[in-house]
């Protein structure tokens, strides 16, 4: 094949693939607004609490980096774990996170969250600022979403910062306290996670 034709083919493929990326990529603020809209639709419908919980778990699986949050929450304690212990932790943390996330959110009815702005930190992270609109029974709440953007086709939430308080950091401190107060025994954390899920 002549060099000109090869060059033309390569150029054509580059254009095609770059367009495909643009089609499937999504901005972080649009991603967050879409996510909260899905949650609001679930919470504002006629589903039972149990049905809402299952729908919210589905949303979390689609939009949250559960493994990433789990490993961050474990911190330096991850270093000494065996592959078997890591696999056990991932399973327990996923069950713990999904129950905690869905059961707390299921208590809300018609939460209205407005996305206000975004701040691109680097190629991997964007902070999206939003507001939980106040009602007669609830004050306005400022919420920041830490969105992992390394793969623009699959954005994931890695933290929520509510009125300046990082939920991931708070959870990390809690897990560290449990492990340290039990002489570094990871099984103490496993039991805590398991007991919570079993409630």
Tell me what pLDDT residue 10 has. Answer: 37
Task: List, in order, residues 6 or more apart from 132 with CB less than 8 Å away.
Answer: 111, 112, 113, 138, 140, 141, 142, 143
When pLDDT is averaged across residues 129-152 and rounded to a whole number, the result is: 89
Task: Classify the C-alpha dihedral 188-190-196-199 as positive or negative.
Answer: negative
When pLDDT is averaged across residues 98-123 and rounded to a whole number, the result is: 85
What share of the chain in percent tops pLDDT 70? 86
- The better pLDDT of the pair 108, 89 is held by 89
In which element (H, E) is residue 51 found? Answer: helix 49-63
> How far, in Å, are 21, 51, 112 from residue 46 at the CA level?
37, 9, 17
Task: List, in order, residues 6 or more apart from 185 with CB less than 8 Å away.
Answer: 179
Cβ 47 vs Cβ 55: under 8 Å: yes
Q: Is the pLDDT assigned to residue 44 strictly greater than 70?
A: yes
Phi, psi of 45, rounded to the nearest 5 degrees = -85, -165
Q: Is the pLDDT assigned to residue 126 strictly greater than 60?
A: yes
């Amino acid at each position: 094949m002549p060099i000109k034709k090869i060059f033309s083919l390569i150029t054509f493929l580059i254009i095609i693939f770059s367009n495909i990326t643009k089609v499937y990529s999504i901005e972080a603020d649009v991603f967050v607004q879409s996510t909260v809209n899905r949650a609001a639709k679930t919470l504002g419908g006629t589903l039972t609490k149990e049905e809402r919980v299952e729908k919210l778990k589905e949303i979390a699986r689609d939009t949250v980096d559960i493994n990433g949050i789990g490993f961050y929450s474990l911190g330096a304690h991850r270093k000494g774990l065996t592959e078997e212990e890591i696999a056990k932790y991932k399973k327990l943390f996923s069950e713990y996170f999904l129950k905690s996330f869905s059961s707390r959110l299921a208590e809300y009815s018609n939460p209205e969250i407005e996305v206000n702005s975004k701040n691109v930190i680097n190629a991997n992270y964007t902070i999206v600022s939003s507001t939980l609109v106040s009602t007669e029974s609830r004050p306005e709440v400022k919420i920041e979403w830490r969105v992992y953007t390394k793969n623009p086709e699959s954005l994931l939430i890695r933290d929520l910062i509510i009125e300046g308080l990082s939920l991931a950091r708070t959870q990390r401190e809690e897990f560290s306290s449990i492990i340290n107060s039990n002489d570094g025994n990871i099984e103490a954390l496993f039991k805590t996670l398991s007991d919570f899920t079993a409630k």
